[in-house]
Chains A and B, each alone.
Chain A
């Protein structure tokens, strides 16, 4: 069983929601990422998404764009991110790691080499935000050959027949983007999310994660009522951005505080629901 499936099965058996956390690789400097990843795990993260920096992250808001800029300024690209995952794996063989980012850096390395190197580094899944399933006939077979899961997004605009098509190809978990807009924007509407998550559940048995717009433990608690997992990125990256010059241990403390709040919110007992 893959690390992603195993982790979700564990949480499901415990009756708990999974916490998926995102950091951009190399943000705010290359040496910070691996210690931050370990801190994410210590503070309660179940899955780590590591952002592959890209110069033109058009699906992201200013928080992630700035993180990409800091990472690129420090010299971190896709190869550097793979090295970070490899180093993380020396101490942690259990926590699933998903690479998240844009297609072009992967295309330049080459799909087959990317898949081989990512698998060798200990990556479990790949999420490319600007690659819809229709264009994925090169990437998906390449990563499948190395047992890497393609993680797909479903959006508020995704039509029902398309949800089914996406879920047919999905592995690991399905990621519902809970807002219109870019990462880090606006506030969330839990009832609306619940309706969309229900539509996804009709199409797949896979766990459903919900992200975009989760700022704190309270948001996590509300979303946890309707999803199997909550995905948090901008809230963590914003905290890193407030301390660009901090050393690794201080950054870890800051990130740990954000994640413990999210974990506590997510682990609150679910309210009784009338039958």
Chain B
């Protein structure tokens, strides 16, 4: 078992020649109201200082180890592999992170940064509630005030997570505007931040938003890929043939992918939410069927109409139900380094059961999209090949949704 990455390794520091300006090719950037420009510059400066500060990194490392529970196992899912027949399937067990998903790698890092910056009030948006729960947890631990914006529709779908957040002292604000889902929660969180910039830190939960969020969140999540890389080398002496992760905003995916981007023998697949099917228009797959535009502070692929209005999204999984995607994914799509595919609701649901039955691991519905694509991919590859799937979250939060879809009473 590998150790947790230490020191500058933990944050993926690169030589600090040119300060990154937040653009991934034509994507990313900083498209925000003037009011937020100074706070974002302040944040970028603070983050740049912290990522090169050994004391900050040591604190982050200790928290990942002792509070989050890192390193997470790279688990050979032998029974699942046998069921599928084909490549050997490994799970990076981010579902074992404290609070049940990879989200806390990032909230831990950002909350420590908030404390260093003297901000005692935290706002966050959440879709499935996993980021909200991970934010509420670190705020409870660090004694920070926590306000979580959540679409009213998601509050209904994810009532258990709402209760978890409230138990940990967070105020959960249902958002009734727009489509009442994740994108509207982001709008409200930005509005709150704009009104309270002096004392408030906005913890964005994914690799989207204005610079420095996409790069900062990626750096905090890249511990996933660095551990995976080291575990692969330790356990079977070579890198995997393929990586698979689900992509909503794309933080678990970029966290796994980023340390492998220069390993050109490793194929990389990002799996979007196909909803009822990309061809039906009822989906949440901007990389598969959208086009570039500007939303929530960055330029990226979006689901939008010809007039530039953002379209409603559809996915069984609340965490993927978002019309945009992190700008680095947009760039990785255009560059061809990562292949983006879509998996429909029913395929994800079947994979949810498949993994649960063969391995006794209940994946989140978001994660199940990656699981489903990994099954398709494994079947095309031989037993001498290996696939690592990011098991990004546990599915306990989704059992009511699954039961409802299948007409069961829980």
- Decide whether A and B assemble into one complex: yes
Binding site for B on A (CB under 8 A): 53-59, 61-62, 65, 69, 72, 77-79, 102-109, 129-132, 134-135, 152-159, 162, 166, 177, 180-182, 185-186
Q: How far is the CA of A79 from the CA of B297 in the complex (A)?
A: 24
Q: How far is the CA of A102 from the CA of B309 in the complex (A)?
A: 10
A158 adjacent to B37 (CB under 8 Å): yes
Contact among B195, B297, B307 with A78 in the assembled complex (CB-CB below 8 Å)? B307
B194 adjacent to A108 (CB under 8 Å): no
| Whole-angstrom distance between the Cβ of A219 and the nearest chain B Cβ | 19
Q: How far is the CA of A57 from the CA of B310 in the complex (A)?
A: 11
Q: How far is the CA of A152 from the CA of B198 in the complex (A)?
A: 23
Q: How far is the CA of A103 from the CA of B186 in the complex (A)?
A: 17
Is there a chain A Cβ closer than 8 Å to B336's Cβ?
no
Q: Which residues in chain B, 1-17, are within 8 Å of chain A measured between CB atoms?
A: none
Is there a chain A Cβ closer than 8 Å to B308's Cβ?
yes
Is there a chain A Cβ closer than 8 Å to B304's Cβ?
yes
Is there a chain A Cβ closer than 8 Å to B31's Cβ?
yes
- Of the candidates A55, A105, A166, the one having the most CB atoms from chain B within 10 angstroms of its own CB is A55
B 283-305 binary contact with A (CB < 8 Å = 1; else 0): 00000000001111100001010
Contact among B29, B302, B308 with A77 in the assembled complex (CB-CB below 8 Å)? B308
Q: How far is the CA of A109 from the CA of B184 in the complex (A)?
A: 24
Q: How far is the CA of A243 from the CA of B35 in the complex (A)?
A: 32
Of chain B, the residue at the smallest CB distance from A106 is B308
Is there a chain A Cβ closer than 8 Å to B82's Cβ?
no
Seed contacts A107-B308, A130-B294, A134-B30; 14 additional CB < 8 Å A-B pairs:
A53-B309, A54-B309, A58-B187, A58-B190, A104-B304, A105-B309, A108-B304, A108-B306, A130-B31, A154-B34, A158-B37, A181-B194, A182-B195, A185-B195
Chain B residues within 8 Å of A129, by CB: 33
Q: How far is the CA of A180 from the CA of B190 in the complex (A)?
A: 12
A58 adjacent to B34 (CB under 8 Å): no
A108 adjacent to B308 (CB under 8 Å): yes
Chain A residues within 8 Å of B194, by CB: 59, 180-182
Chain A residues within 8 Å of B308, by CB: 54, 77-78, 104-109
B 138-162 binary contact with A (CB < 8 Å = 1; else 0): 0000000000000000000000000
Is there a chain A Cβ closer than 8 Å to B361's Cβ?
no
Chain A residues within 8 Å of B191, by CB: 58-59, 61, 181-182
Contact among B30, B183, B293, B297 with A108 in the assembled complex (CB-CB below 8 Å)? B293
Is there a chain A Cβ closer than 8 Å to B379's Cβ?
no
B38 adjacent to A157 (CB under 8 Å): yes
Q: How far is the CA of A27 from the CA of B96 in the complex (A)?
A: 50
Q: How far is the CA of A182 from the CA of B196 in the complex (A)?
A: 10
Of chain B, the residue at the smallest CB distance from A66 is B177
Q: Is the interface of B mostly helix, strand, loop or mixed?
A: mixed
Q: How far is the CA of A57 from the CA of B184 in the complex (A)?
A: 10
Q: Which residues in chain B, 169-199, are within 8 Å of chain A measured between CB atoms?
A: 177-178, 183-184, 186-187, 190-191, 194-198
| Whole-angstrom distance between the Cβ of A209 and the nearest chain B Cβ | 14
Contact among B178, B186, B306 with A55 in the assembled complex (CB-CB below 8 Å)? B178
Chain A residues within 8 Å of B309, by CB: 53-55, 72, 77, 105
The total of interchain contacts (Cβ-Cβ below 8 angstroms) comes to: 118
Q: A55-B309, A180-B197, A182-B194 in contact; A104/B33 too (CB < 8 A)?
A: no
Q: How far is the CA of A165 from the CA of B309 in the complex (A)?
A: 31
Chain A residues within 8 Å of B73, by CB: none
| Whole-angstrom distance between the Cβ of B295 and the nearest chain A Cβ | 6
Of chain A, the residue at the smallest CB distance from B312 is A55
Mind listing 5 A-B residue pairs with CB under 8 Å?
A: A65-B177, A107-B308, A135-B30, A135-B31, A152-B34
| Whole-angstrom distance between the Cβ of B333 and the nearest chain A Cβ | 18
Chain B residues within 8 Å of A177, by CB: 33-35
Q: A55-B309, A56-B183 in contact; A180/B35 too (CB < 8 A)?
A: yes
Contact among B29, B177, B187, B293 with A104 in the assembled complex (CB-CB below 8 Å)? B293
Chain A residues within 8 Å of B293, by CB: 104, 107-108
| Whole-angstrom distance between the Cβ of B211 and the nearest chain A Cβ | 10
Q: How far is the CA of A38 from the CA of B269 in the complex (A)?
A: 56
B33 adjacent to A157 (CB under 8 Å): no
6 closest Cβ pairs, A-B complex: A105-B308, A77-B307, A181-B195, A108-B308, A155-B35, A157-B38
A104 adjacent to B294 (CB under 8 Å): yes
B294 adjacent to A103 (CB under 8 Å): yes
Is there a chain A Cβ closer than 8 Å to B278's Cβ?
no
Chain A residues within 8 Å of B183, by CB: 56
A105 adjacent to B197 (CB under 8 Å): no
| Whole-angstrom distance between the Cβ of A205 and the nearest chain B Cβ | 20
Chain A residues within 8 Å of B296, by CB: 56, 58
Q: A79-B307, A108-B307, A180-B195 in contact; A162/B33 too (CB < 8 A)?
A: no
Chain A residues within 8 Å of B196, by CB: 180
Chain B residues within 8 Å of A54, by CB: 308-309
| Whole-angstrom distance between the Cβ of A168 and the nearest chain B Cβ | 15
| Whole-angstrom distance between the Cβ of A119 and the nearest chain B Cβ | 19
A56 adjacent to B34 (CB under 8 Å): no
Q: How far is the CA of A251 from the CA of B221 in the complex (A)?
A: 53
Chain A residues within 8 Å of B198, by CB: 180
